[in-house]
Amino acid sequence: MRYTQYFLPTLKETPGDAEVVSHQLMARAGMIRKVAAGVYDYLPLGLRVIRKVENIVREEMNRAGAIELLMPAVNPADLWQQSGRWQQYGKELLRFKDRKDTEFCIGPTHEEVVTEIVRGTVSSYRQLPFNLYQIQTKFRDEIRPRFGLMRGREFIMKDAYSFDIDDAGADVSYQKMYQAYRRIFKRCGLEFRAVEADSGAIGGSFSHEFMVLAETGEDAIVSCDSCDYAANVEKAELRPAASAAPAPALPLEKVETPNMKTIEDVAAFLKETPQKMVKTLILITEQEEIVAVLLRGDHKLNEIKLNNFLGCDHAQLADEETVRKLTGAPTGFSGPIGLTCRVLADLELEGMSDFGLGANEANYHMTGANHGRDFQVEAFVDLREAEAGDSCPRCEGKLEAWRGIEVGHVFKLGTKYSEAMQATVLDAQGQERVLVMGCYGIGIGRTAAAAIEQNHDENGILWPAPLAPFQVIITLLNPKDEAVLKAGEALYEELLEQGIEVLLDDRDERPGSKFKDAELLGIPFRVTVGNRGLKEGCYELQERCSSEKSMLPMGEAAARLTEQVRAALATDPA
């Protein structure tokens, strides 16, 4: 592609509403343009990247045996009423009426439509299993669309739906998709983790989120450094303490800790580490039950785990007055000794002895405290948030902490839709069986945006080669110079013949601003063609991800570049 004949409106300024780096860079690089809140044009350069993601997704879905179709964006209300979602789905579902007053919505997902297809066409177990997918534009009326393609209202998605005769079959379909997703994100050249999102009752997990790792990610996740285990911090299980608590060695003593309310302050004052302290949180549930929760001084309470254990919806920190009433002291000095409410302790405390804790008296703490001897605990429960350095719940490895962006989700649906919409087949015995479904999504635009969140620097995008809109940019320093133009065009033609995607920057602009644009666009290989190099029979080569420049002898340039590009594109998906 010649730059002068291309449509590539880059921006010098970042649009004011672009909060995240992928949005900023996509707008500045002329990839997208806002039409309305959460609705974007995909300009030519952006579309090239979208197509790259789509092609990888399509190839791997086909490879896994899934079959492509295309369903309509416009869905009749009738189908959504059959599944019950017309009532359940909130304002995110964009509804409208046609001229005959018939109600419709724009599909944010397509379980209803695909189930209707299957129930109308499949009647025998012999036709199973299969997996239908589409790559299609969807709409979800987010209340606050932002972050560009990361959370738009209109978005391109790959959604797939598997149909099986039974649970065992559905598990096989799920595994196929799980493996296909791993291959997809590896082939995209992205660092990612498959995170357990929800654990089924009988072994195995039935939902995984695929997270692209990026410091700017919204989700906090942990993953094992030696096995495949990864989970959202909120859901990561933790193991009981490695060994039982050593026998108490110290007497219980009360120590004055004037005005020290934080664990860090008290620990420092006592010349201890927060790891030798226990903090006592007083919480109150929506049923107004008061619970004391004990955690190691440096640990964080995971409220979801606590709610699950208590069987409540929402336990929150009790107010000052409740704490005073219960403990006789202001917050910051609570301890379990003498408390009349339920006392729960995190698993970690099972292995602790002779620790410090609050004395239930203003300006005092206790040292040498021991559970069993000085106070009783109702139960030791996994109540804290996982963090880097914790032991993996599955193996002997250690957990690492990351931030992630969800780009894909595989989900074993079961019979929710097939039952509601009566999608059944006859089995080998002639019995009617409800189909078991799975659904599998990938945000196409979101994947492109996440790739930028993961791969950028202060000058622009650093595309992983498989997603780059072009692999090579040839920058002509002075296109008015006949020799420069000729040499640049010759290289351009040679690379095109090798199937390399090349952008020839033949604009009559200052070299500095061309280099800036090249960095902004993030094309992996830049070849500079200028007079000085030509006199020496060379082009200058610079990779976007490195600051080093090297010289390419003109005669070998096309062959060497082709080799380097192919090496960069060859991601091993296995």
Q: Which of residues 381-400 bind Zn ion (CB under 5 A)?
A: 392, 394-395, 397
Task: Tell me which of 43, 224, 381, 442 binds Zn ion, using CB under 5 A.
Answer: 224
| The token pair that represents 400 in the structure block | 């690492």
Looking at residue 80, its amino acid is W
Which one, 209 or 505, has the nearer CB to Zn ion? 209
Which one, 229 or 463, has the nearer CB to Zn ion? 229
Which one, 35 or 227, has the nearer CB to Zn ion? 227
Which one, 72 or 389, has the nearer CB to Zn ion? 389
**Smallest separation (angstroms) from Zn ion to the CB of 400:** 11
**How long, in residues, is the chain?**
574
Which one, 401 or 554, has the nearer CB to Zn ion? 401
Contact status: 197 vs Zn ion (CB under 5 A): no
Looking at residue 531, its amino acid is N
**Smallest separation (angstroms) from Zn ion to the CB of 392:** 3
531 in Cβ contact with 149 (< 8 Å)? no
CA-wise closest residue to 475 among 435, 533, 429, 553: 533
Contact status: 227 vs Zn ion (CB under 5 A): yes
Q: Which of residues 505-544 bind Zn ion (CB under 5 A)?
A: none
At residue 2, φ and ψ (nearest 5 deg) are -90, 130
| The token pair that represents 246 in the structure block | 């050593």
* Count of CA atoms in the C-beta half-sphere (13 A) of 448: 29
Contact status: 549 vs Zn ion (CB under 5 A): no
Which one, 248 or 397, has the nearer CB to Zn ion? 397
H/E run at residue 48: helix 44-63
Contact status: 50 vs Zn ion (CB under 5 A): no
- Contact segment (CB under 5 A) with Zn ion among 227-235, 307-315, 330-338, 404-412 equals 227-235
CA distance 24 to 44: 17
Contact status: 231 vs Zn ion (CB under 5 A): no
**Smallest separation (angstroms) from Zn ion to the CB of 434:** 37
**Smallest separation (angstroms) from Zn ion to the CB of 243:** 20
Number of residues that bind Zn ion (CB under 5 A): 7
366 in Cβ contact with 266 (< 8 Å)? no
Contact status: 229 vs Zn ion (CB under 5 A): yes
**Smallest separation (angstroms) from Zn ion to the CB of 572:** 22
Contact status: 195 vs Zn ion (CB under 5 A): no
- Contact segment (CB under 5 A) with Zn ion among 102-110, 218-226, 453-461, 545-553 equals 218-226
Q: Concatenate the DSSP letters of all residues of 182-236 into one string.
A: HHHHHHTT--EEEEEEEE-SSSSEEEEEEEEE-TT-SEEEEEESSSS-EEETTT-
**Smallest separation (angstroms) from Zn ion to the CB of 86:** 43
222 in Cβ contact with 395 (< 8 Å)? no
**Smallest separation (angstroms) from Zn ion to the CB of 142:** 36
Which one, 84 or 393, has the nearer CB to Zn ion? 393
Which one, 254 or 394, has the nearer CB to Zn ion? 394
400 in Cβ contact with 223 (< 8 Å)? yes
Give rounded-to-5 percent helix, strand, coil for the chain: 30, 30, 40
**Smallest separation (angstroms) from Zn ion to the CB of 183:** 22
Which one, 224 or 477, has the nearer CB to Zn ion? 224
SS (H, E, C) 461-482: ECCCHHHCCCCEEEEECCCCCH
- Contact segment (CB under 5 A) with Zn ion among 204-212, 221-229, 318-326, 451-459 equals 221-229
- Contact segment (CB under 5 A) with Zn ion among 49-57, 157-165, 223-231, 332-340 equals 223-231
Contact status: 97 vs Zn ion (CB under 5 A): no
Cβ-count burial of 58 within 10 angstroms (0-12 exposed, 13-18 middle, 19+ buried)? Answer: middle
Q: Looking at the DSSP assignment, which residues form a beta bridge with residue 430? A: none
Give contact residues for Zn ion (rule: CB under 5 A): 224, 227, 229, 392, 394-395, 397
